Amino acid sequence: MKDTYIDKTAIVDNGAKIGKGTKIWHFSHIMKGAIIGNECSLGQNCFVGDRAVIGNGVKIQNNVSVYGMVTIEDDVFVGPSAVFTNDLNPRASYPKNGDWVPTLIKKGASIGANATIVCGTTIGEWSFIAAGAVVTKNVSDFALVAGVPAKIIGWMCECGERLSFDVENKDQKEIIINTCPKCGRKYEKIENSIKQIKGK
């Protein structure tokens, strides 16, 4: 495993935990109490707050702030200038003193450039948040969401290929099977959620 790299312009406070092989680039700031796993990459001008947790193999592009109480699981991609919040109703005159609202980004999810993730939400495994989307509620595993506020417009394979499920028929009850045209993984759709079929 490669050694950790911290650019000379980055600031890592005492008490922050940085995993092996992780790279932290120019002008980033990692606060005391932050936890970053192995083999991650944080682009320039990133911020990771106290009580923020980042898993292994996470790629965070330039100009992203991961505030306290945000948890990012393994293999997540966060695009440039994506925004996380941790306060649903901020007031300068009434500070919360660390009483933040948690957010969970689950394994393999991708968050597009300039997307906003409102706190208190869970972003499902291998889901895909389109660039510029504003996420105000939980996102299902493998869902492709876009818009303001973000809504499901499709489904994504684990490999990143778009799947061809019909998401318009919300009364659909039968199980629909779909095979990814790129990698061959199989999925089943029941109503408005899908899951990967293992071992087929």
Co-location of 71 and 120 in the same domain: yes
Same domain, 95 and 172: no
At 165 the pLDDT is 67
Taking residues 151-172, what's their average pLDDT? 80
Say yes or no: 194 and 127 in one domain: no
Domain that holds residue 112: 5-156
Q: 127 with 89, same domain?
A: yes
**Residue 123 and residue 179 share a domain:** no
pLDDT level of residue 52 (50, 70, 90 thresholds): very high
pLDDT, mean over the chain: 93
Give the CATH number, domain containing residue 99: 2.160.10.10
Q: How confident is the model at residue 174 (pLDDT cuts 50, 70, 90)?
A: low
pLDDT (mean) for 76-95: 94
Q: Are residues 192 and 103 in the same domain?
A: no
Lowest mean pLDDT among 65-69, 160-164, 189-193: 189-193
Residues 26 and 47 in one domain: yes
C-alpha 40/C-alpha 56 separation (Å) is: 6
Could you tell me if 93 and 176 lie in one domain? no
Say yes or no: 86 and 172 in one domain. no
Predicted TM-score (pTM) above 0.85? yes
Q: 183 and 114, same structural domain? A: no
How high is the pLDDT of residue 96? 80
- How many domains does one find in the chain? 2
Three-state SS across the chain?
CCCCEECCCCEECCCCEECCCCEECCCCEECCCCEECCCCEECCCCEECCCCEECCCCEECCCCEECCCEEECCCCEECCCCEECCCCCCCCCCCCCCCCCCEEECCCCEECCCCEECCCCEECCCCEECCCCEECCCECCCEEEECCCCEEEEEECCCCCEECCCCCCCCCCCCEEEECCCCCCEEEEECCEEEEECCC
pLDDT in the model for residue 164:
84
Residues 126 and 185 in one domain: no
Query: Quick one: pLDDT at residue 94?
Result: 87
> Do 144 and 171 reside in the same domain of the chain?
no
